[in-house]
Structures are given as structure tokens and as C-alpha cells.
Chains A and B, each alone.
Chain A
Amino acid sequence: MSQTGNEKVVFEGEDGNAGYASPALDLIATAFLLALSGLVIVASWRLPIPGGLATAPGLLPFLTAASLAIMAVLLGISAIVRHREGARLWDAGARDSSQDGRTFILVAAVAVYIGGLHVLAFQYYFNIGTIPMVLSAFEPVTIIALASIIHLFWRGPLWITALISVGWTLTLSLVFQKMFNIPLPGGF
């Protein structure tokens, strides 16, 4: 990880994972970055210039995209050079891809959760004793989404999953709405 034996200490940046990827991944990144910078260069070129060139709204975006394109080319060249020096194009061992399927399910579940909050938004006012309360799509959608995601990744008893989902959702709802007066998504 960060230590080899007890002698050498390797410094890690803010992101421990960052660094050299397999050449194929770097080439894909190069292609994407070139496309992105090309798009921004064209879009910033087409922006109106109300004052003069010095204050043009597209000036820094243009310069940023142009320098990004140069960096993307350098990334591509470094990938090709590494491949020529003997690095495998697709280094299967460099990354554990066995969890990708589970990751895709998780990403889809989160997307459905946010979509649910977006599409099913409603708001219902009621009182518990003298305390005014608000029920929105946040509570039912979060309970269902949370229970589903926990059930996907933890094979414990269903009643515990349900209890945790309900308990956590109601806690968040009360803390944000009642303590800090912050409206929750899923309402209006």
C-alpha cells in the first residue's frame, strides 16, 4: 500500500488511486477529452463578444479547452509510449472488475430513487397533536429505496432492513425539517 517493508514510505496524494492506468484506458480518456475540448472550443468561439476581445465571455473557456486538448494529446502519447515499452494494452490485473455488476445495480438503484423523488413529488400537511407536520414523497420513496439498497448489499433479516430504513428516514425528516427548517426533496 504505502509502505514497502519498513524502509520506504510512498507519498500519496489526496486521491490514493490516482496515477497510471492501463494504456487502453488512457487512450479512451484521451479520445473523450479531445471530444470534450473540441466541443467547448467550438461553443466558446460561437459566444457573443459584447465588449472587446479582452473581456470576451468565451476567452478563458477557449484557452482552458485548448490547453486541455494539448494535455489530452500528451496523455495519449504517454499511453502509446508505455505500450511500446512493454505495458499491456488492457491490464486486467490492475483493476478488480468483479464488482462492476454490483456497482451498476447500485447506480441504477440510486437513479431510480432520485427519479422517484422527482416524478412522484407531493406534499401533505397534517398535525400530530399541536405540532404541524409535512409528509412528502421523500418519506415513502426513501424508505422503499433504502430498504431495497440495503437488501441488495446486506443479507440480514428483512424486518431489520425495514426497521432501519423507516427509522433513518424519519430521523432525517425530523432533523432537517423540524430542527433546521430545511425542506426535503420530493415536495413542492
Chain B
Amino acid sequence: MIETIQLLFTPWLLIMTLSGVCLGIIWGALPGLSTTMAMGLLIGLSAGMSQDASISFMLGVYTGSVFGGAISAVLINIPGTPDAVPTMIEGHQLAQRGEGGQALGMAIAASFVGGTVGIILLVTLIPVILTFALNFKSWEMFWLAVIGILVSGSMAAGTMPLKGWIAGWIGMLVAFVGLDAIHAVPRFTFGSFALFDGISYVAVLIGLFGLAEIFRTLPSKDIVAIPDEVGRIIPPLRILAKFTPSAIRSGVLGTFIGAIPGAGANVASFLAYDIGKRRASPEEKAKWGKGSYEALVCAETANNANIGGSMLPTLALGIPGNAAAAALLAALTLKNVSVGPTIEIDHPGLIYFIYGALFIANVMMYLAAFALIGPCVKLFSLPRGILMPLIIPVSVIGAYSVKLSIFDVWIMFGAGLAGWLLSVFKFPVAPIVLGVILAPLADENLRRSLFVFEDKAWGYILSQWIGTILMLFVLLVVIEGILRAMRTNPEAKQDAPQKGV
């Protein structure tokens, strides 16, 4: 434990965490550049680092970029990340009243509280989940992987879960390409040796979240108004103290939402925002939607607490909590770190390192955020026509650097094009990433368990009670999705509105 703490405070790792946090804040602040995009693209950069530096850097990027979305949301009324939409609704109203700086100060403080609540709950709950997860065998791991993909699809596609599930299934098909893990039989390679290693999920991730976003936003002709100054940033202590109970409640909520595979920071921030409104005093409730500090605190606390929450299933089960956590999982895999129920046996001490790195990243986010608001305002004045093309070579390097293969760059290009087409056809892309990452887990574990069950009766299979509960949960997710689609307002089905952020 002491060795881990000493390691975390080595200057190089602190510099790496700070670099990750700063890059994350700036990235998240720039409209159109999401947390997952930041994580996906910077995997390439982390590939050249040591394992410790890579983890510190990526956790810094994750923490920084989730907060960064608040800066553009408050100041220019464009959420840098989708989870910053409630922050935009409240924060920009405050900015128009000349309280933009103070709104950002509140967002920074709330993000810090949220991050801390998430880490505390992560540290508290993970031993319980790990102990329980050790009972999971192949059959249970297969169903867990299916749940991860299904829930992600269900959450990502809003009123039409079917499209989310289809996206997840497409991701699974992508992952089946290459040599199979048990018999080394080439699957869907069509004679191409380049496909024997499979399709790189890092390239797919960068294509879907990096290049596709550039294809979507660069041709757009929107013009953004940039503020000249932001005013006082540090909020008065009495305001901070007043909203502490709301912050803690939203933090707990955000953490638990984060622990559900597929439920990202945006679901957490919207839910906390909505619950916050229901529980607010009549006086505060009247301000909701017109510039409420409490609403801002609820949303920002929840989306940062989501980071700790998303790490729970990622570390304990190897099932990413959301697309950004999936990118973190990819970065860990590149460093030969296999997460899951046996993480403490396979990598003793690593889990404490991750707790510590998350905590340091959270503190650094708090300090760096105040310093970076000014430079971010300057960056907003950069035309999109300059900013977005600069990301193209970063995407190319990111895809190339994992296996030093230009073939992977073409895969990234194909994934980018597919991501753009999917957005035209209104399919979500996050479930594809979950599908690509979880399909090998599902494939291997299904076949192993069927081999074990070969001579057994159905009664024996159903007597594996954890697996049976997980099977029932899959059924529940499907039924809930169908009911949700059926309950959807017919007008919403007919208008098919473009509700992009």
C-alpha cells in the first residue's frame, strides 16, 4: 500500500496525470469533442508509456474531459460533452446574467465533490462485488457480457432500443473476425492474412468516436458567439455549503448509474437534474431552467461521480460501465492488464493504484480547471474549420500506433464512415464499442460452458442460480425495451426529430 502511494507521487506520474487532466479539460471543453473521443484518440499516445504512466494519464483524461464539457456549456451555450446539457440549460442562463464565472466555479466544486463521492463508493463497494464475482464461472460471464451489450443498446437508443441492440450485435459481428480463441480457426477472414489478428477495437473506437464526429461536425456552418470575459470564478462558501446535501445525493445517484453497463454520464446528469428538481424547495424549484445553482450542482456532481461508478463493473467484472470506460479497458488491455474478478490475484496492488490515481486526477482536475478556463475561452475563438482538421492526423496516429499497421488506419477510416452512416440512419454507436469489446468474452465463455453442460440436463443448467438470475435479467431488459418503445408518443415516432446535441 505504502509503495503504491509512493509510486503515485513520483514526479513523472504526477506530470502524466496533470497532462491527462489538462488535455481532458481542454478536449471536453471544445464543442463536438466528447469524453469517449478523447479517451479513444489518446490511447495511441498512452501506448508509448509505461503501464503506471498510461493508467494515470488515461484516468486524468477521463476525469478532465467529463468536467471540461461544462466550460463551453456555460460560456457559449454548447455542451462540450452530451452530459453537460443540463449544465448548459442552467449555466448559460447564469452567464447571461453576468454570473458565468461563478457558475463555472460551482461546476468545478460540484465536479470535485462528485468525483470524490464516486471514488469513495468505488473503494467501499468493489471488495463486495469482487468477492461475489469470484462465484462467476463461464456461464455467468457469458450472460454478463450479453447484459452489458443489451443494456448499453437499451440506454443509448432512447425511444427505440431495437436500434441500440442492433448496433451492439453489429459490434459483436465485427469482433468475430479473426482466429477463434479456442480452435484457432480463421473466421470471416476471406483469405486475408491482415484479418487473422482480428479487427483492432482501438481502430474501431477511434473511427466511431473520432473520425465520425469530424465527418458530422466539420462540414457544419454553425457560428458560435464567444464571451469576452467570465467574471469572478470562485463561488462564495455559503452557496457551496447550501447545496452540499444535493451534491452528495446526486453523487451517490451518479455513481450507481455509472455502475450500470451502458448508462453513461449523460443519463446520470439528466436523472440527478430531474430528481434534484423534484426535491428542491419551492423557491429553488422556481429557478430551475432559468439559472439555478442547485440544478447545476446536481448535474455536475452526478456526471463526475459517474466516473467512479463506471469503474466498478469495469474493474470487478471486466464489463465496461460506458463507452469511455470501454476505451480505458482497451488502454489497460494494451498494457497486458486483464481486469475482472481475478484482478487482485493477477495484478496485486493494481486496484489500489487505480484508486489513488483516480483521487489524484480528481484533485488535479479541481486545481487545473480554475487555471484553464481562460485559455479555453481563447480556444473557443478558433474556427471549427481549423480545429477539427487538426484531429485527423491524431486519429491516424492513434489507430496506427497500436500494431504499427496501416491496415488498422484503413479500419479506422471504415469505422469512421460507418459511424457517420449510422448517425444518418439514427443508430447509436456506443453499443457497437461494447459489442466489439464484450463479444470475445461472450464467445469464449459460451462455448466453455456448453462444453461443461454437454451431458447435463436442463435442470442442472437452471440450478446454476446466478446464471439463471442473469438470464431472467436479460429477459427483463428486452421486455422493458419493448414496453418503452410501445409507450413512445406516436408523434415522436412520426416526426423522427433530430435531437443531436
A contacts, CB < 8 Å to B: 1-3, 5-7, 9-22, 25-26, 28-29, 33, 36, 40, 43-44, 47-48, 50-52, 54-61, 64-65, 67-68, 71-72, 74-75, 78, 82, 85-87, 91, 94-96, 99, 102-103, 106-107, 110-111, 113-114, 117-118, 121, 142, 145-146, 149-150, 153-156, 164, 168-169, 172, 175-176, 179-185
Contact = CB atoms under 8 A, between A and B. Distances in A.
A82 B496 CA distance: 11
A121 B400 CA distance: 14
A19 B159 contact: yes
B396 A146 contact: no
A57 B182 contact: yes
Interface string B134-174: 00000000000000000010011111101111100110110
Contact of B172 (A14, A64, A117, A121): A64
Given A20-B492, A29-B425, A64-B172, A153 B385 contact: yes
Interface string B411-427: 00100110010011111
A107 B89 contact: no
A150 B155 contact: no
A36 B501 CA distance: 31
A26 to B, nearest CB: 8
A17 B183 contact: no
Contacts of A149: 389, 392
Closest 7 A/B residue pairs (Cβ): A154-B385, A180-B48, A6-B289, A102-B219, A15-B428, A14-B430, A153-B385
Nearest to A101: B219
Contacts of B416: 110
A108 to B, nearest CB: 11
A150 B386 contact: yes
Given A50-B185, A150-B389, A114 B47 contact: no
A47 B155 contact: no
Given A47-B185, A57-B180, A20 B496 contact: yes
B442 interface: yes
Interface stretch (B64-72, B108-116, B240-248, B266-274): B266-274
Contacts of A15: 156-157, 423, 428-430
Contacts of B180: 57
Contacts of B162: 71, 74-75, 78
B271 to A, nearest CB: 7
B196 interface: no
A86 B494 contact: yes
A114 to B, nearest CB: 5
Nearest to A142: B393
Contact of B323 (A14, A85, A181, A183): A14
A54 B499 CA distance: 45
B267 A64 contact: no
19 contacts: A12-B266, A14-B262, A14-B430, A16-B499, A18-B158, A33-B166, A36-B170, A40-B176, A43-B187, A55-B448, A57-B182, A61-B187, A68-B173, A74-B162, A75-B162, A117-B406, A118-B409, A149-B389, A150-B386
Given A13-B267, A19-B157, A20-B426, A182 B494 contact: no
A178 to B, nearest CB: 11
Interface residue range, chain B: 35 or more
Contacts of A111: 413
Interface in B79-126: 82, 85-86, 89
A37 to B, nearest CB: 8
A87 B494 contact: yes
Contacts of A113: 392, 396
Contacts of B496: 19-22, 87, 91, 94
> Which of A2, A3, A117 is most buried by chain B, counting CB atoms within 10 A of its CB?
A2
B256 to A, nearest CB: 16
A106 B288 contact: no
Nearest to B412: A114
B499 A25 contact: no
Contact of A176 (B45, B166, B185, B214): B45
B188 A43 contact: yes
A19 B389 contact: no
B458 to A, nearest CB: 15
A19 B45 contact: no
Interface string B392-413: 1110110011001010011001
Contacts of A59: 446-447, 450
Contacts of B237: none
B89 A2 contact: yes
B409 A117 contact: yes
Contacts of A95: 424, 498
Contacts of A54: 447, 450-451, 453-454
B493 A94 contact: no
B252 interface: no
B249 to A, nearest CB: 17
Contacts of B442: 60
> Which of A60, A149, A153, A155 is most buried by chain B, counting CB atoms within 10 A of its CB?
A60
> Which of B176, B443, B451, B501 is most buried by chain A, counting CB atoms within 10 A of its CB?
B176
Contact of B447 (A18, A60, A72, A74): A60
B264 interface: yes
A21 B426 contact: yes
B228 interface: no
Contact of A14 (B155, B388, B423, B451): B155
Contact of A18 (B156, B404, B446, B490): B156
Given A61-B176, A68-B173, A17 B426 contact: yes
> Which of B180, B274, B290, B389 is most buried by chain A, counting CB atoms within 10 A of its CB?
B389
A185 to B, nearest CB: 4
Contacts of A33: 166
Nearest to B495: A94
